[in-house]
Structure 1
Amino acid sequence: MTGSTVKPWQIAATLAWVALLGLFFAQVEIQIEGAAGWAANLPTWRIEHHWLLDIFWGGRPMTGYHAWVFPFVALFFHFPLLFLGQWSWRLEARAIGCIMLFWVIEDYLWFVMNPAYGVAHFSPAHIAWHKHWMLFAPTDYWVSLLAASALLYFSYRRKS
């Protein structure tokens, strides 16, 4: 697709596919974690406090579960580039933008579809592991959506 004219339906299809992946993975995590989000009850190692967690992880603990699942998802989103034998900065931006969008959608749907939460409990009062909120959502969502939008815009814009 690099170098060719991208049709609006291709962008819409990509975004819809990322949302579908987010929905399915949210359900997987609901089945794994139940009501105890952020791997709270999983048999995994945890680093609760470290200054790097405040910078890169929003103050949340680092767990063995997340240490494996985050690169797993990144590898999944990069597989089409490997499979097709194509790489460019535009395709890399698209992959990273899709990963960021995926995690926002997946995380939000985890709360919406989780019987222990639902939309009514999507707030800082009920979600201790999202420590920083702006308006009605964790600040991670806003930062990720802004970065994902910029990356996807770059990846889909016409070459001048």
Structure 2
Amino acid sequence: MFVLKTFKELTLEELNEIYLLRGLVFVVGQKITEENEIDRADRQALHFFHANEAGEVLAYLRLFDLGVFSDDSHPLDPGAWSMGRVAVHPDARGTGLGRELLGAAINWVRTTTEAQRISISAQAYLKDRYYGAAGFKQVGEDYLEAGIDHVHMVLEL
């Protein structure tokens, strides 16, 4: 159901669909314009997604090994992985696809890597019913990121 690819493994069609979904969710839907939605971190990420039969990406997130990758948004943290840019197409919301995506990604990190934890920056309004339900715990206080309340959350593996 879910596909995992490096940036170089993505087809042009898949990359276009990923960027269309992220633009729809983050730029159009959430009006995030303070920072580039598309960034060079995509080149280092693993891209985890589900596409329908027509090739439209309906659910997406990206993964990083924080022991080897860091940038302004992702501090080096050996033993940790991160996931971000979690997006579900508006037409697929309420179907459980987002929870399946999150669960499958957590399972992939747990079974495929030697990670001890997953560390994320989550939108605060999703912390309890979405990430908390998956076992993540809030660490620290809320903060603003791209004009939206966020929280740092960690899932111990």
So what's the TM-score if we normalise by structure 1?
0.27
Tell which structure's C-alpha radius of gyration is larger: 1
